[in-house]
Structure 1
Amino acid sequence: MPTDLPEPQAVCNPVTRSAIFIVATLEPGPEHAKTVRDLCADVAGLVRAVGTRAPSGELSCVSGFGSDAWDALFGAPRPANLHAFREFGEGARRAIGTPGDLLLHIRADHMDLCFELAAQLMGRLGGAVSVVDEVHGFRYFDLRDMVGFVDGTENPRAREAFDFVVIGDQDPEFAGGSYVIVQKYLHDMAAWDSLSVEAQERIIGRKKLSDVELADGVKPSSSHSSLTTIEKDGQEVKILRHNMAFGRPGAGEFGTYFIGYANAPDPIEQMLENMFVGRPPGNYDRLLDYSRAVTGGLFFVPSAPMLEALADRNP
């Protein structure tokens, strides 16, 4: 990590075996805002306290705030690119925005660590927030998503990940921070499994077993991998995905929780527009014929020292 930037939260940590995603809305009233601000100073300590029970478990927590919540909790100044989630598409194929002021991305190699930290955090928040979505995710075999393909193959790594994910000179007052977009997708597995492996591979743009990308002459322009590849000035712009599978087989629920980090929302929003509207319009991601987004939110993730300092900010 460059030494001239504040330490980020754990956005670039490796993928773990388990995760809990909590999205909550802020209850009105100055006392509730103070409760949330007070917790900002203690998140790191709670992670350390719970994590010492199993030091090899790689416990971490990333805290993010929505646009309206930032104004209510912290006031000005505000991150340059923080805004409400932008919706794309129409009808049944639509990236929808749903309520969310606070995001907690808790992860570890053991679900008991995630569960205990989530319980501690929510115990501290009490009635200051209302949870609108909670997902317990798991790593599915060799980093595969629920539809059976390896997820996150093109993730940047090491210094490259830091450069694509962490804010630097773009917004100096918020250096060390990141933006994160989350979406919960539900899959029609009966319809998906009725496809041949070859048809699935054309939709994703990769071989299912080997994860090798299809050749340009074979891979459709509507494939998922084609539409989520973004270039600027001749260079590919990457994001960092920490997606997790989730589900309840007894209830027929099979899903993928998308979570993407970047140093600006633009590349993720461009990917979503390509997927839901199409590039060009109409040439949309055919995976969306089998997957439906049911939540959507954009959050700003302050640096670790800024998160702690936010406890003392009062708009």
Structure 2
Amino acid sequence: MAQAQKGIVAEPNLHAQYLMFNVVDDELSVMREKLARVLDLFDYYDEEHYEAMVSGVIGIGNSFWNEIYPGATPRELAPFPDMQCEDRCAPVLQADLFIQIRADRLDIVHQMSIEVLELLKLHVELVEQVRAFRYLDGRDLTGFIDADDNPRGMKKFDVAVIGDDDIEFAGGSYIHIQRYRHDMARWNTLSEKRQEQVIGRTKEHNLPVVDSGLSSHTHRTKLLRHGKYPTLLKQSMPYGNMSVQGLFYVACSNDGQAFKDVLYSRIFGDENGNYDRFLDYTSAETGAAFFAPSIQFIKRSAVSQTVDDMLSSQIDFDE
């Protein structure tokens, strides 16, 4: 079976850097080769600093896929769903590449980010960078446990990674990202009981809140496949400084429609107007859709395109 990129199903880390780029030149064969070298960079740091639990992900933007990998396209790769209802919206950020770097050491995350940028800088412009961190015992900055419904163990693969039924893209994953900005001042005016009703879980022990209703964050985001399996594996982490705080949301799935369904449930809610009340206290500022191919796909494409370019050059020379 094709091997998924390690960062798709990695265990939580202490530090992360999220980078998004737009490609600014037409040397796509060079770009394919350099993406394979980014994977080599991930492997090098993982081996040299195994105790730091290093992982990475390369995602290709929906609008850039057919340029860098012409031919077959992941069947459910689509533009980021641009939604709006009243003051709740999901804005779109145009990005060709998404690179996620995570480790339990901030210095390693920083150095890897520098080396990735150095490798790609002649071909890309950086459009977004967010440094994130683990907060307490895996909580959002609101104080609540984040992604409590995430699958664990091998079930991560069942949710996030495409299986052998799609041979060409086996080992791949659909990725959707959003950068949320929390209104912490407004959130902190709520009593703990009211916060728990909004989230749908207790703050200290992460237990279900019985009277939270159909508009709680937990209810609106917990969509199940076949009635019992989660549809998304979330690799989100908090970010912030003294002025701005929020969550960098990363959702991975083997179903390209799954994120759209969850987002619709949050923004539009049900026919009775039960939307995700947590959106009264946080707002998305960016959103983008990517596909993270398997390791073999990226490396095979780099090699095959290099060979094709060599053959093409030889033909031109002979003529």
Q: Counterparts of 1:99-248 in structure 2 under 5 Å?
A: 99-215=94-210, 218-248=211-241
What is the DSSP-based 3-state SS (H/G/I as helix, E as strand, rest coil) of the residue aligned with 2:286? coil
**C-alpha distance in structure 2 between counterparts of 1:230 and 1:40, whole Å:** 34
Query: Is the 1:74–1:313 contact (alpha carbons within 8 Å) kept by the matching residues of 2?
Result: no
Unaligned runs of 5+ in 1: none
Q: How many angstroms does 1:48 deviate by?
A: 2.8
Q: Could you give the per-residue CA deviations for residues 174-195 of structure 1, whole angstroms, max 9, x where no partner exists? A: 0111111100000110100000
- Equivalent of 2:2 in 1, 6, 10: 6
Q: In structure 1, how many angstroms separate the alpha carbons of the residues matched to 2:282 and 2:201?
A: 17
How many residues are treated as equivalent by the alignment? 305
Q: Which residue of 2 aligns with 1:272?
A: 263
Show structure 2 runs of 5+ residues with no match: 309-319
Letter in 1 for 2:250: I
Q: Report the Cα distance in structure 1 between the residues aligned to 2:271 and 2:179, rounded to whole angstroms.
A: 25
Which TM-score applies when normalising by structure 1? 0.93
Distance 1:301 1:281, change over 3 A: farther
C-alpha distance in structure 2 between counterparts of 1:235 and 1:50, whole Å = 37
Residue 259 (structure 1) aligns with: 250
8 A Cα contact 2:150 2:230, kept in partner: no
Q: TM-score, normalised by structure 2?
A: 0.91
Q: Deviations over 1:153-178 (max 9, x none)?
A: 11101121111111014522101111
Judge conservation of contact 1:51–1:113 (CA < 8 Å) in 2: no
Deviations 1:42-99 (A, max 9, x none): 1232123334443200111110101121111111111111111011223531011111
> What is the letter of the counterpart of residue 179 of structure 1?
Y
Residue 92 of structure 2: aligned partner: 97
Deviations 1:245-271 (A, max 9, x none): 11111xx20110000111012121111
Matched, 1:34 2:29: yes
Note closer, same or farther for the CA distance 1:150–1:34 as it changes in structure 2 (3 Å cut). same
In structure 2, the residue matched to 1:20 is 17
Structure with larger Rg: 2
**1:146: how far off?**
1.3
**Matched residue, 2:275:** 284
Any conservation in 2 of the 1:227–1:279 contact (CA below 8 Å)?
no
Query: For each residue in 1:211-249, what CA deviation from the matched residue of structure 2 results, as whole angstroms up to 9, or x when unmatched?
Result: 11112xx12100000011113443333311111111111
Kindly indicate whether the alpha-carbon contact (under 8 Å) linking 2:32 and 2:298 is maintained by their aligned counterparts in 1: no
* Residue type of the alignment partner of 1:89: Q
Aligned residue for 1:41, secondary structure, equals helix
